[in-house]
Amino acid sequence: MKKTRLFFQFVGIGVFTISLLIAGCTKEGPMGPAGADGTNGTNGTDGNSTCLDCHATEVKSNIEAQFAMSVHSSGINAVDYAGGRASCAQCHSHQGFVQFANTGEVAGNISNPTAWECATCHGLHESFGGSDYALRLKDPVHPIFDPSITMDLNGNSNLCANCHQSRRAEPIFDVPGETYKITSTHYGPHHGAQANVVAGVGFAEIEGSVTYPVAGSATHLAQASCTGCHMAEFDNDEDQGGHTYNPSLLACNTCHGVEEADFNYGGVQSIVEGQLETLRDELIRLGVVVWVEADAAYEPVVGTYPMVQARAFFNWAGLEEDRSLGVHNPKYVKALLQNSIEALEAEPTPGI
């Protein structure tokens, strides 16, 4: 055994010695020419850059300052009288809207409702991309007055449509017949059915001399948007745009290529204001509407009316409270008002 082990030790030493001799004889040649540079890759994006577009201290402070100017932030009247009621809270309080956005309903009355805030509209990000503003709702809306149809105001503007829509169907679709009973002095589409106006749906399309445009064909729906007009770049001199939600005159002038001093482009607001007054006076003549001194407002008189009168009132109330004086959808608004006026002018004065 000792002789065998010794034999292998000598063999190992021999192999190691030969390896050293071979290595000592190897020489390196001169360095070859440098190879061509590879193609440059695309620089990556700073992981914080997208977040800082909104969350940088200065940007966030500016947004908060703008939002403080808005009616949404102050919650004037809206939160106080309706924010706590389960049937109203989904649009009249922060807590109600968040519940509705997350579950599709409001579970019950809210004891301490508060006005809207950043987290009312903004929830969790989905992609963290440049256009991911984490809006709680942005899909097309199936309106309350007719869930079988779809109102699509395009992308982020759909968030607005969840609240700015009619709560009721127009009279002939609500209760078809020859007459209609107005049961409350608060009857109407509800305050601020702007989405209906922009989309051109949901009002009483009474037959008349003016043809109604095809629903969804409005220029402002195709080429503008709620956010494009009301959330354009903030104008510090006019306190318009941004998160004030005040419509931006600069955005309107830029789109139309004009230099108007107000929103009365083409005289639309003047025309519609006159039509609204004429329609209101016809409703007063027929006894459908009266001036209520205590509320400093024109209100409907509870009672049963010919269907056409109830439909015309529905149009007047909804377009009055749209508050754009036709700007949101000029052709549709002017058609609704003109045809409503013509229909009421043909109605006899009660008692005569």
Examine the domain organization and report whether 83 and 129 are in the same domain: yes
- Show which of 120, 136, 152 is a domain's final residue: 136
User: Residues 163, 220: one domain?
Assistant: yes
Work out the angle at residue 171's Cα, subtended by the Cα atoms of residues 326 and 78, and round it to the nearest 5 degrees: 60
In this structure, which amino acid lies at residue 137? L
- Is the pLDDT confidence value at 308 over 80? yes
**213: in domain:** yes
Whether 100 maps to a domain, the answer reads yes
Residue 340 lies in a domain: yes
Q: For residues 149-175, give the mean pLDDT.
A: 94
Judge if 281 and 200 occupy the same domain. Answer: yes
- Are residues 208 and 90 part of one domain? no
Is residue 26 one of the residues assigned to a domain? no
pLDDT at residue 13 is higher than 60:
no
| Per-residue pLDDT at 20 | 47
Asked if 65 and 202 sit in the same domain, the reply is: no
The pLDDT of residue 21 is: 47
For residue 25, is it within any domain? no
- Among 115, 136, 157, the domain boundary falls at 136
Shared-domain flag, residues 317 and 335: yes
Q: Is residue 91 part of a domain?
A: yes
Short-list 147, 169, 209, CA closest to 311: 169
**Listed residues 77, 103, 136: the one ending a domain:** 136
Do residues 290 and 315 share a domain?
A: yes
Averaged over 135-140, what is the pLDDT?
A: 92
Count of domains in the chain? 2
Both 181 and 315 in one domain: the answer is yes
| Residue 172 belongs to domain spanning | 142-225+266-352
Residues 170 and 280 in one domain: yes
pTM of structure: 0.83
In a shared domain, residues 190 and 120: no
Same domain membership, residue 324 and residue 193: yes
Chain segment 29-63, per-residue pLDDT in tens = 777 787 777 777 776 555 566 777 778 888 889 99
